[in-house]
Chain A
């Protein structure tokens, strides 16, 4: 279907179903129950899942396929956000031109940065992208927000004010981001018994866009172009010796992933019409690297998984506090309960970054393929047990590279 083979089609369908029914899947616990804090089915969080999914899918096209580790992708996300908000300010609150412009501007910006950075490879490339991103951050934060030429509105962040032109804004169109009149914040709540499910217009817009870009990513992975990028990763020198100039390919990959980041930034602004410089800081770039690695570099589904995983646990861990912990471990004797809570305390609430850092290190050390590889290993182990029970163990069946 759609030019995909059977396996990819089923993957696409699975992802489509998951995103489509996410409001159900992410809200497995009844409202008001003790487990309700593990629900993730509210619009804001679901939007973040999908938007960061898009960001990570794009990053994976560069890092997973070519092996170029960019530490500056947040710059494109930020540029996308700024351009989307400018569209809101100048034209109207309709999200289509905003998202379109954010993709285009991020594409141009990444073309410029990629053209310069890709002259070097390896660690130099990482540092160059890092330097560019920090420079963009500094530009957005202070340089481009002086009274004479205020492009980014500095520390406050760019937002829409009442005296902005908004030349295409109709008299009766909503006063917040909308898609031809359908506000992004419109939410339909369905109550089924004790459960309640939120269906949010913004989430579904992001989800549809994610499906499209996920499909594009599959096509890129399976195309001759994707093959060329993999060749760059495995041995660029050999490719150059065969007389092939790999630069256009890597540059194309860089621009594509930059456009994905811009799209994510544009969507972010479409969900909440505000753009701040902190989106461009290098810790934000680090976050998308974490997502991709955690999920599984170079796999199709990995980045989406990683983005969902990190955003979900960020949300859950930040909510848990000592009282919650005490209620969990109430079955233990008093002294032991306090001891357990004391031990866990540094890792929850504000300590989420500590947990994330430790988790990330463990993944890089023991599971370089990320969650996807972990899942595969688990499956293999289960299968092996089964075959062991059936007959004598067969030898290693992995094809030689």
Chain B
């Protein structure tokens, strides 16, 4: 029982990332009808927002410390980050320590702007072109974004540690009555899961309970009619694109401590996220979230030693297998609606 619970928990962090990326993909697809192959790149850019902020906060200047001497008797050079100089050593150190959560504040405006520029500058011109063209141009864009990041940050993964307070592990088992040490779980994964649930909740309530969200939902159902009613639906959809980009970006920001960001992490997640969207049902937001968590958990179950000894390598292919089975038996996916993407 505790083993099962542990595997479910293990699947949650990847599942959260899948769910967030798939949610953004579905938002873009549902509103603009565009298949965005560059969405993984947005996830990656988000992660590199955290890297950038961490680097910015660690910018430091050198001073000569007269009290400390090196072995030749010269005064030691001490690097002091500007942040510590401005806010005092203790507050400064805390700020640097919390750079990843702080990057959320930094990433939101950046991602909104990136999404806005992407939609206005490129995707806008592809609404009327065939889906194949949309796939191709966003695929090209993904390559370009990836290479730009590689140019500035190099090809190696960059460590983005979580804050000290959240970096340990917690014994969850004792809280629900299992033996101690049965379920030990890193805190940051819990934080990530909670964060993902929060974002998903925020997006859904934004769509459900605000006037803006209502208009967007109406536009998703029938874009033409909403336009005829005198509402500038294009503008709202552009904003939705920005929001979708921000969701992917935030997923990336918080994912850094789980897996050090590198320039191709977006591509790695993109393929799986597409599979998630298709399994969940193209154009269905709850489907994307559900499928994201389900596939994440499934992957974690397939990675247990029992599964990998029964069928070697099952953890590598399980998601694709499931996707193929789902597509063939339930072509619309788990929660797909009729008439979406069926020529």
Contacts and interface: CB of A to CB of B under 8 A. Distances in A.
Interface of A: 67, 69, 116, 119-124, 126-128, 130-132, 134-135, 138-139, 141-144, 146, 236-237, 282-283, 286, 289, 293, 346, 351, 353-354, 356-358, 360-361, 364-365, 368
A127 B327 CA distance: 10
B102 interface: no
A121 B151 contact: no
B320 A132 contact: yes
A132 B140 contact: no
A67 B343 CA distance: 13
Interface stretch (B70-78, B93-101, B141-149): B141-149
A346 B317 contact: no
Interface residues of B, number: 40
A138 B316 contact: yes
Nearest to A359: B140
A123 B135 contact: yes
A128 B327 contact: yes
A141 B35 CA distance: 29
B140 A146 contact: no
Given A69-B135, A119-B328, A120-B327, A357 B317 contact: no
B274 A365 contact: no
Given A124-B278, A139-B313, A354 B343 contact: no
Contact of A354 (B133, B151, B328): B151
B271 A134 contact: yes
A238 to B, nearest CB: 11
A335 to B, nearest CB: 23
Contact of A357 (B147, B316, B328): B147
27 contacts: A67-B130, A119-B328, A121-B343, A123-B35, A123-B135, A124-B331, A127-B323, A131-B271, A131-B324, A132-B320, A132-B324, A135-B317, A135-B324, A138-B313, A138-B316, A139-B316, A142-B316, A146-B312, A146-B313, A286-B139, A293-B136, A351-B147, A353-B146, A357-B147, A361-B122, A364-B137, A365-B125
Contacts of B282: 123-124
User: Considering the complex of A and B, which 3 residue pairs feature the smallest CB-CB distances, nearest first?
Assistant: A143-B313, A357-B143, A354-B147
Nearest to A71: B135
B144 to A, nearest CB: 4
Contacts of B148: 354
Contact of A128 (B132, B147, B151, B324): B324
A329 B274 CA distance: 46
A128 B271 CA distance: 11
B265 to A, nearest CB: 14
A142 to B, nearest CB: 5
A120 B323 CA distance: 13
Contacts of A354: 143-144, 147-148, 151
Given A293-B136, A346-B151, A358 B328 contact: no
Contacts of A141: 316
Contacts of A124: 278, 282, 327, 331, 341
A200 B343 CA distance: 49
B317 A138 contact: yes
B55 interface: no
A122 B136 CA distance: 13
Contacts of A130: 271, 274
Contacts, number: 114
B131 interface: yes
Contacts of A356: 143
Contact of B140 (A120, A351, A364): A364
A102 to B, nearest CB: 23
Contacts of A126: 132, 135
Contacts of A286: 139
B38 to A, nearest CB: 10
A119 B35 CA distance: 20
Contacts of B139: 286, 289, 360
Given A139-B313, A368-B133, 4 more contacts: A123-B35, A123-B135, A141-B316, A357-B144
B263 to A, nearest CB: 11
Contacts of A365: 122, 125, 137
Contacts of A236: 343
Contact of B312 (A121, A132, A143): A143
Nearest to B320: A135
A301 B278 CA distance: 35
A213 to B, nearest CB: 24
A132 B275 CA distance: 11
Contacts of B141: 357, 361
B321 interface: yes
- Best-buried of A121, A141, A368 by chain B (most CB within 10 Å): A368
A134 B316 CA distance: 9
Nearest to B144: A357
Contacts of B298: none
A5 B298 CA distance: 57
B275 A289 contact: no
B132 A69 contact: yes
B305 to A, nearest CB: 14
B82 to A, nearest CB: 27
A368 B126 CA distance: 12
A127 B312 contact: no
A364 B320 contact: no
Contacts of B251: none
B267 interface: yes
Nearest to B142: A357
B140 A360 contact: yes
Contacts of B267: 283
Contact of A127 (B143, B146, B275, B328): B275
B8 to A, nearest CB: 23
A1 B341 CA distance: 45
A346 B144 CA distance: 12
Given A122-B341, A123-B341, A131 B323 contact: yes
A380 B15 CA distance: 54
Interface string B139-183: 111111011100100000000000000000000000000000000
